[in-house]
Amino acid sequence: MSDPLSGIPSGLRYFFGREAQVRRTIEDTALAVFAGWSYEEITTPTIDYYSLFEQGMGSEASNSFRFMDGDGKLLALRPDVTSGVARAAVTLLNRRERPLRLWYVAPVFRQHAKSQAEFRRELTQIGCELFGVSGGPAELEILLIAGEIFDRLGLRDDFVITLNDVEVFNGVVENLKLDSTQRAAMRELVDSRNATDLERLVSQFASVEESRRFADLTQLSGKGDVLDAARQVIMNERSRAALDRLERVWEIITSLNLTDRFEIDLGDVSTLDYYTALNFKIYLKGAGVRVGSGGRYDHLTAKLGKAEPAIGFVIDLDALTDVMLARDGQEPEAQAEATMLRVTSNDSLTTFQEAIAARWRGERVLISPQEVKR
């Protein structure tokens, strides 16, 4: 039998050497970008009330490590950071001037691996949130910040941000008068781009021709022309308003000559219970799963006590590190030459006086252990 203390629970790990250096570089890069856009750092508690995360994440919160507080209240190991930041914004920082701009880097935990490819149970999120600004300008700001981080990491040509507005889907569901079971089924089929089964499902409510055109729509991924194609098929007002919102964001992206970093993806409905309008995902060459996601979540602030516009994103530091390491190799960065200092048995005082002096000159010192007397 193996020693139980030598093992480590599944989905958890150590970081050291080159990998630790790369993580630090990514963090430093991101925080410089956040600072450059006038964001302020916030650290939220690692342990918090489970009910907070339930409000913030919906059913996904049940995948958190939970335990009881002394007074019987249910606590959870933070499964996301946004919930805590949003609560701080509408409570403690309620009187602060808006817009309120906050960023964080923090580990989050989940009890079970999300999927085979997303096996980590502790992962570090780098993210930011913008409170008090509604509409296009906030959306553009957030998208540009996310893009700049990847640019500055030297990944300019290797990432794409997919844009959607959850209200496109919600409008269709409302228009077809689907109940919650049918809605869940439809969401799953749209999310997996399963056009065949989607067509079958929708044909119970619409003509064969309409169903086929709608199903084909979920497979489109592309630029502004996707919005035109969608307008040919989707007629309800709620969805059209969402398509117009996307169009306005897309127009600015086009004017800024940034269309090569963005795609419209109307099939991205995986985070429906969380976001209220724009939602986006960040994909990076070399990573099989998304490395970031974000969107507008105006409902959450209302649930936490004060309705106000909120938008933000997170980047998965671990997934991003994997890609950077695969690119740059595992060799640790060379360090500056060290001043070698040896501790001898009769005079450690001099050694450390020299060490202190060298440190204040900005040198790296390496203290060698006592010489072995033969």
Partner 1 sequence: MSQLTIAIAKGRLQFDALELLKRIGINLTDATETSRRLSVEDQTGEYRFLFAKPGDVAVYVEHGVADCGIVGRDVLLETNADVLQPLDLTIGRCRMVVAALAAAPGNGHGMLKVATKYPGIATRHFGSRGQPVEIIQLSGSVELAPVLGLADCIVDLVETGRTLRENGLAVVEEIFSSTARLISNRASYQLKAESMMKLLDAVRCAVREGVKADD
Q: Which residues bind partner 1 (CB under 8 A)?
A: 114-118, 160, 162, 192-197, 219, 221-222, 263, 265, 281, 283-285, 287-290
Q: How far is the CB of 25 from partner 1 (least distance, A)?
A: 22
Q: Least distance to partner 1 from the beta carbon of 220, Å?
A: 8
Dig out the tokens for 356 from the structure.
């202190």
Q: How far is the CB of 117 from partner 1 (least distance, A)?
A: 5
Distance, in Å, from the CA atom of 268 to the CA atom of 264, rounded to the nearest integer, reads: 9
From the CB of 283, what's the least distance to partner 1, in Å?
Answer: 4
Q: Indicate the residue among 196 and 335 with the shorter CB distance to partner 1.
A: 196
Supply the DSSP symbol for 275: -
CB of 54 to partner 1, least distance (A): 23
Closest distance between partner 1 and the C-beta of residue 218, in Å? Answer: 8
Of residues 29, 31, 83, the one with CA closest to residue 57: 83
Q: Which two tokens stand for residue 295?
A: 């969107």
Which 8-state DSSP code applies to residue 125?
Answer: E
DSSP state of 208: H
Question: Considering beta carbons, is residue 160 or 325 the nearer one to partner 1?
Answer: 160
Q: Is the separation of the CB atoms in 44 and 51 below 8 Å?
A: no
Nearest-5° Cα angle at 328, 157 to 332? 150
Tokens of 95: 């009187």
User: Given the complex with partner 1, which of 110 and 281 has the nearer CB atom?
Assistant: 281
Nearest residue (CB) to partner 1, 50 versus 169: 169
Between 134 and 194, CB nearer to partner 1: 194
> Among positive and negative, which fits the CA dihedral 22, 23, 28, 33?
positive
CA distances from 191 to 169, 236, 245, 272 (A): 11, 21, 21, 10
For the bound state, the minimum distance from the C-beta of residue 19 to partner 1, rounded and expressed in Å, comes to: 19
Cβ proximity to partner 1, 160 vs 365, nearer residue: 160
Extract long-range pairs of 321-329: CB within 8 Å, 24+ residues apart. 321/19, 321/22, 321/23, 321/26, 322/286, 322/287, 323/155, 323/284, 323/285, 323/286, 323/287, 323/291, 324/22, 324/25, 324/26, 324/153, 325/18, 325/19, 325/22, 326/286, 327/286, 328/22, 329/18
Amino acid (one-letter) located at 94: N
Pick 38 or 115: Cβ nearer partner 1? 115
Nearest CB to partner 1, comparing residues 90 and 291: 291
User: Considering the complex, what minimum distance in angstroms separates the CB of residue 250 from partner 1?
Assistant: 16
Output DSSP code: residue 222: B
